[in-house]
A and B are shown apart, each in its own frame.
Chain A
Amino acid sequence: MIQAADWVAIGLTLKLATVTTVILLLVGTPLAWWLARTHSRWRALIRAIVALPIVLPPTVLGFYLLVALGPHGWIGAWTTRMGWGVLPFTFTGLVVASTLYSLPFVVQPLQNAFEAVPDQLLEAAATLRASPLDTFFSIALPLARPGYLTATVLGFAHTIGEFGVVLMIGGNIPGVTRVVSVQIYDHVEALELEHAHALSGGMLIFSLLILLLLFSFQPNGRRS
């Protein structure tokens, strides 16, 4: 029922989601920490930009990325000069797009978790000789652990579920950019409904399991 091409798409999707999630956690952590702690007047603007992918049609984000990353875009010109070529219709291009697209789903849970760490505990750590960086790793990070679970699961699941941005930036190259959601679209277009059913059902069950996992690990909000 699931063809070899389907397995390739599934493998590619999992690889994309994993790479994207790792990058998102690395980029999202300092960003979320800054958003949770700063009094800067830029805070509102940065928050708004991070949240944009939630409200923006994925095609809009994909379109702008395509323009920017393309050979005539400012990022594309730079990547070409660096000898990396242009990113659209490559796996790297997909990773860049997915990272931006799923950013709010990682940053917002992390930001909420960091905001829930009482200021006083950070101050207490400072009075016990811990530098700000030390305080972050020894106090803030362990206390924000539930936020990391949420951020990881949501970032991963959301990347797996994307379609519009992928189609705009990645196109439909088997084994390179053809992820599960695109594969399903292809099956439906070709009227291979049986295959579409198999993949869609798999996605449905997978998504449900992942959310179930998330909610069962968070019985009622934060630990004391």
Chain B
Amino acid sequence: MNPTPAAGIRVTARIVFPGFTLSVTLHLPGQGVVALFGHSGSGKSTLLRVVAGLERAPHGFVQVNGTVWQDEARGLFLPTHQRSIGYVFQDAALFPHLDVWNNLLFGVKRVVNNPARPALEQVIEMLGIAPLLKRKPATLSGGERQRVAIARALAVTPELLLMDEPLAALDVARKREILPYLERLHRELAIPVLYVTHSPEEVARLADHLVVLEAGQVLASGPLQETLARIDVPIRLGEESGVVIDAIIGARDQEWHLARADFTGGMLWIRDPGVTIGQAVRVSVLARDVSLAAEPQSKSSILNLLPGEVSAMIEDTHPANVLVRVVVGPTPFLARITRRSVAALDLTVRKSVWVQVKSAALMESA
């Protein structure tokens, strides 16, 4: 993934707080969206603050795409205002005494190599905030504020965008308002994004790379699909384990209101929310919605039947259950089945099985 050792983002940090120690060593891809996922107190926000230089790790090391920002071994620590970052706070942190336009200009005016205005106009357009420019932050809705905050962070043309739970302070309706903008950023931004969240939905919709943190430690770090399908670490996006699959709409069945999502290794029929053929989508499949069979069942309500191979099995949280990873072609699925079923099917690793997907949901229309 990283052609040279300098590419990508390297972070080593160890900070001791009363009752909590953050201790991480990470090597992250230098492009795409990296989700830092964990519950509150897992250290994900602290990690982001270390990368920004807002928190100084005593023996820390931070390097972003070839530039070293912190190397305590050499006594190097670049203060925050000298790091080429954009930072989006959970509650926007707009300057109350400045209108939206001057909030946007605040960083632009201070960038050493003042970038061309087009960057500013582009982010104003991309986040749809042109009508808000004359307004004071106090008169904006929560969603509008967060869009301005994102635009303000991007207007300085940073080398790295850091987002600290940008949707957590918003209600469901406001989240729905912002998510399409974030998905657009995901598609159009050339710079890497570190995205702190505790929301499974945001991970599934936005992330390319997933880092799972727990009690200040890295539980897992890897490409999203692989990491979600890992069963040696119990990564649960919320209550349920599951996988996310990148697919392209290959066909639509107007009569039954279904659409066919083609992925590497197979295809899934899903409810058609009004997609177009050729559209890139993300499909989420929960482990509880996947069952396994030794024979293909012809008379069944199950729409999706895929040939697969067992690649791993692990104890689930409840002793009655087992979490099985099955690959369909190269694409991994997770299935939660009972231990009795494992015995009845005589499941072992490398055994061929039929994967029955009871339900799959569209996550994103890209």
Contact = CB atoms under 8 A, between A and B. Distances in A.
Interface of A: 118, 120-121, 123-132, 134, 138-139, 142-143, 223-224
Contacts of B80: 123, 126-127
B186 to A, nearest CB: 21
Given A128-B106, A128-B152, 9 more contacts: A120-B93, A126-B54, A126-B79, A126-B80, A127-B80, A127-B81, A128-B110, A129-B111, A139-B95
Interface of B: 52-54, 79-82, 85-87, 89, 91, 93-97, 106-107, 110-112, 138, 152-153, 156, 162
Contacts of B162: 127
Contacts of A124: 87, 89, 93-95
B156 A128 contact: yes
Nearest to B52: A127
29 contacts: A120-B89, A123-B93, A124-B87, A124-B89, A124-B94, A124-B95, A125-B81, A125-B95, A125-B106, A126-B53, A126-B80, A127-B54, A127-B81, A127-B87, A128-B106, A128-B107, A128-B152, A128-B153, A129-B82, A129-B107, A129-B111, A129-B112, A130-B110, A132-B81, A143-B96, A143-B97, A223-B96, A224-B96, A224-B138
A143 B81 CA distance: 20
A142 B106 CA distance: 14
Given A123-B54, A124-B87, A138-B106, A131 B81 contact: yes
B334 to A, nearest CB: 38
Nearest to A142: B97
A128 B108 CA distance: 8
A134 B110 contact: yes
B85 A127 contact: yes
Contacts of A130: 81, 106, 110
Contacts of B89: 120, 123-124
B291 to A, nearest CB: 48
A120 B80 CA distance: 13
A129 B81 contact: yes
A19 to B, nearest CB: 30
B80 to A, nearest CB: 4
Contacts of B79: 126, 131
Nearest to A131: B81
A118 to B, nearest CB: 8
A121 B95 contact: yes
Contacts of B81: 125-132, 134
